[in-house]
Amino acid sequence: RRIPKYAYIPFGTGPRICIGQALSLMQIRLILATVAQKYRLVLPPDQSIKPTLFLTMRPDKEMYMQVIPRSKKPNMS
C-alpha cells in the first residue's frame, strides 16, 4: 500500500512553511541520537505496531517499549 504524497505534512508546505522546521528536525535528530547512545528501546514480544493516518501518522493503539540502559564500557569484540 502506498501512502499519499501529502498525508503527512507537519510543518506545512509552500510559501507558508514553518520557519522553525530546520531547527525542529535538528533537535529531533540530536535527541534521538542521545537516547540511542544511552539506551536500547525494545518492543515487547506481545506488542505489534500498525500505523494509522490521522492528522499525523500514529500507532493504532498505545505502544509500550522496554528501555534498557546500555553498558558504559565499550564492546571490544
Per-residue pLDDT reduced to its tens digit, 19-48: 999 999 999 999 999 999 999 999 999 888
What distance in Å separates the CA atoms of residue 33 and residue 43, rounded to the nearest whole number?
Answer: 18
Give me the pLDDT at residue 6, please. 76
Residue whose entry in the numeric block shows the C-alpha cell 540511542: 36
Q: What percent of the chain has pLDDT over 90?
A: 40
Does the pLDDT value for residue 71 go beyond 70?
yes
Closest-CA residue to 62 (of 73, 47, 77, 72): 47
Give me the pLDDT at residue 77, please. 61
Does the pLDDT value for residue 75 go beyond 70?
no
Q: Are 11 and 23 in contact (CB under 8 A)?
A: no
Indicate the pTM of the whole model. Answer: 0.56
- Residue 51, classed as helix, strand or coil, is strand
53: cell is 493516518
Contacting residues for 20 by C-beta, under 8 A, at least 6 apart: 11
